Chains A and B, each alone.
Chain A
Amino acid sequence: EAQVTQNPRYLITVTGKKLTVTCSQNMNHEYMSWYRQDPGLGLRQIYYSMNVEVTDKGDVPEGYKVSRKEKRNFPLILESPSPNQTSLYFCASSLRTSGSFTDTQYFGPGTRLTVL
């Protein structure tokens, strides 16, 4: 089954304790992205990756890191989490993005993070 998976689905942690949220897709997609979703603010892009070893900042990258060592995986790293990073996080992937058209993005099930 074609899908994007995220782990963990739920996480409660404390300020300053490093954490990683994993994202994996089995569709051989080149493009992957991380979003956070907050009430009233919609989905905002954190980081994206066009392909292996190619990553760039989205709209709200502060406090986050990513890496793309393999095509299927795109982990999100919070080196020193703070309470303002409490949010619902989504990973997404698409086959490619080029020219004037955007391939459909497929979203993972989400990770609800609470930072105390």
Chain B
Amino acid sequence: EDQVTQSPEALRLQEGESSSLNCSYTVSGLRGLFWYRQDPGKGPEFLFTLYSAGEEKEKERLKATLTKKESFLHITAPKPEDSATYLCAVRTISSGSARQLTFGSGTQLTVLP
């Protein structure tokens, strides 16, 4: 069974204090790893897709990386507006062409001014 585990569950940072969120996965053949941002009371908003180990993608203060067992979302010099829950999801061989995504439980990030 495909499993996705995110850590930590919650993270509090001071503004400007860089850190990383972790998404580890145990799957039967990865076909894509996705990062989403979710603000309170809203639906998840797409950030990145990574397909193969060694791949990296960046957007503003966020950088996502992928290895064969895990993905990291690095946040450089975060600002209070980066506060949100960050979700990781995978699509795998066992997902088939239709079921698509298995989500982790998320990391709730709070950036204090």
Chain A residues close to B by CB (< 8 Å): 4, 31, 33, 35, 40-45, 48, 50, 56, 58-59, 90, 92, 94, 97-102, 104-110
Contact = CB atoms under 8 A, between A and B. Distances in A.
A56 to B, nearest CB: 6
A45 B51 CA distance: 22
Main secondary structure of the interface of A (DSSP, over half): strand
B49 A99 contact: no
Interface string B84-107: 000101010000011111011110
Contact of B31 (A42, A94, A100, A106): A100
A107 B45 contact: yes
A105 B41 CA distance: 18
A48 B100 CA distance: 9
A74 B99 CA distance: 16
Contacts of B89: 43
A107 B97 contact: no
Contacts of B101: 43, 45, 102, 105
B43 A4 contact: yes
Given A101-B32, A104-B49, A110 B97 contact: no
Contacts of A106: 46
> Most chain-A Cβ atoms within 10 A of its Cβ — which of B4, B34, B101?
B101
Given A42-B87, A42-B106, A43-B87, A102 B100 contact: yes
21 contacts: A31-B98, A40-B105, A42-B105, A43-B87, A45-B99, A48-B99, A59-B99, A90-B43, A94-B100, A97-B97, A97-B98, A99-B97, A100-B31, A101-B51, A102-B31, A102-B32, A102-B34, A102-B101, A107-B44, A107-B45, A110-B41
Contacts of A90: 43-44
A50 B46 contact: no
A41 B64 CA distance: 23
Nearest to A50: B98
A78 B104 CA distance: 26
Contacts of A50: 98
